[in-house]
Structure 1
């Protein structure tokens, strides 16, 4: 089969499309013929040797979409359209940058809609992460408010769209004024230009502060995000767009506002006993995107042969949505 691997860490130029052996389905696994996959910052960090233990000659990728071609358990029908994410992909087994992969059945979601593979490939990692962070960590409710810090990332855009569909008032941030209209079109009620210090802008919109905040940027803006949150509000950190996950001189007494809850969500939990994907709303999201009720966040589509170009776009961070690669 064809797979995209790197023999050593480095820039996009280390990625190669090569022939490798197909994986063999083990107990508890299914085999998927991959049709498309989305790109994630985690894959850029991994490719560069800055995330996890680098494994040469193992296909990259933490998500993919395609169809079932083998399921010893019989849980999924052959030919079933599915999406998958995490479950050791890229780290302990071939990831989604391959024609065929075997994955744990618990990390697979059956998709019933007629959504295209190009659109579906933009959804799994972004929306499953948003589901975990918003529904499990924050336990959002209709009528509440949500600040999305770093909203032009693919997961940020997914959060805006998902929260709007769930009946929340969304404040989205971006550093680029050119992104304002885009964010409003996908569900943001308000867009704040982020100069690193936005809490006064947020409280000018909602004087008491937001109920909930999704921190996609990370440590660089966390203190300011906490200041944007009301008493008894909550913040969940999911991203590292702002660099290393290190809180310099963070004082729990002075920097964590009284009664505000702070938590972290990692998509590594997806598919575990604590967060089985059969409980996720991904099939519903796919239906909403297909019928136009929720926006398509696909920004750019590449073929597998153009993976180096796709990763250059991923690295420079200007896609304004999800980068999708077709296999």
Structure 2
């Protein structure tokens, strides 16, 4: 089969398509014929530097998510030919992932989906929409009357969150560092676009002087303290992303650092389950949501796609479709 094997870290050009054996099935794992997959920043970091970490063993086929058809059900409840999505569980890190024509994946991380979406549209959903949906409705407990700020609104997860939040009638504010991206956020359905600079707090207080209800924090801990300060009493901030490339806080003192009456939570996509996946797809169908890819590439264009992701040149999800 064709696969993109990372043998060493480096520039996007280290990602080349090669021929490798189709993996054999074993109990507890199923073989998926990959039809498409989305790109993620965790794969970018693996290619750039994380592949050199002692807990990663190269060579490795990257890819933490995919959509496709069940090729070999092994000892699972699945049937050959079922339409499935797969995500996380160590894909592309602990074991070979989805940058390939076939992927051997733990059964617990594969989920049947009932949808008539084409592969390109479906590939936008697994990691991105699952993360956005879980953050909004499981962690933030988003309600139609809420005013929500999405920090990192032009990221793939941010754009998905805008669609999902607007579908239930919430008022959505989204931040971006670039004025040039204001119009695209408005087209996505954002009610108010904020420029994420040293005037962000003033911009927000001009709109909502008494604070807002919820914040989806996709930049990460580097802006968390400021985000918590935007909230009303009993407001919630959910930390989901690390676009700011900082994942921990030194000398974090919760009693002092979390404002009284404000709730801090998070969402991780590491433990997907069929129930939440079913809820997500039911929501997408009910509200007639159409996920859109920022750009679509072939497997042979993987290096070009990674360069685009590295340059932050995509407004949304980059998709690879395997013909």
Q: Any residues of structure 2 matched to 1:155-194 within 5 Å, and which? A: 155-194=157-196
CA-to-partner distance for each residue in 1:133-187, whole Å, 9 max, x for gaps? Answer: 2222222223222110001000111111111112321111111222222212222
**How far apart, in 2, do the equivalents of 1:227 and 1:279 lie?**
31
CA-to-partner distance for each residue in 1:9-66, whole Å, 9 max, x for gaps? Answer: 1221211211122222222322110011100001001112237633212210101111
Residue-pair matches, total:
319
Q: Are the structure 2 counterparts of residues 258 and 117 from structure 1 closer, same or farther at C-alpha, using a change threshold of 3 Å?
A: same
Q: Are the structure 2 counterparts of residues 288 and 12 from structure 1 closer, same or farther at C-alpha, using a change threshold of 3 Å?
A: farther
Q: Which residue of 1 aligns with 2:49?
A: 49
Conserved 8 A contact 1:203-1:209: yes
**How far apart, in 2, do the equivalents of 1:295 and 1:74 lie?**
31
The answer to whether 1:5 aligns with 2:5 is yes
Deviation at residue 285 of structure 1 after TM alignment: 5.3
Equivalent position to 1:210, from 203, 209, 212: 212
The answer to whether 1:278 aligns with 2:275 is yes
Find the residue that maps to 2:319 and give its secondary structure. Answer: strand
CA-to-partner distance for each residue in 1:73-109, whole Å, 9 max, x for gaps? Answer: 4633322221111011011221111111122222222
After TM superposition, the score normalised by the length of structure 1 is 0.91
Q: Which residue of 2 aligns with 1:273?
A: none
After TM superposition, the score normalised by the length of structure 2 is 0.92
Find the residue that maps to 1:84 and give its secondary structure. Answer: strand
Conserved 8 A contact 1:197-1:224: no
Unpaired segments of 5 or more residues in structure 1?
271-275
Q: Are the structure 2 counterparts of residues 205 and 297 from structure 1 closer, same or farther at C-alpha, using a change threshold of 3 Å?
A: farther
Unpaired segments of 5 or more residues in structure 2?
none
Q: Which residue of 2 aligns with 1:82?
A: 84
**How far apart, in 1, do the equivalents of 2:227 and 2:50 lie?**
26
Conserved 8 A contact 2:121-2:290: no
- Computed over aligned residues only, the root mean square deviation of the Cα atoms, in angstroms, reads 2.0
Q: Which residue of 1 aligns with 2:131?
A: 129
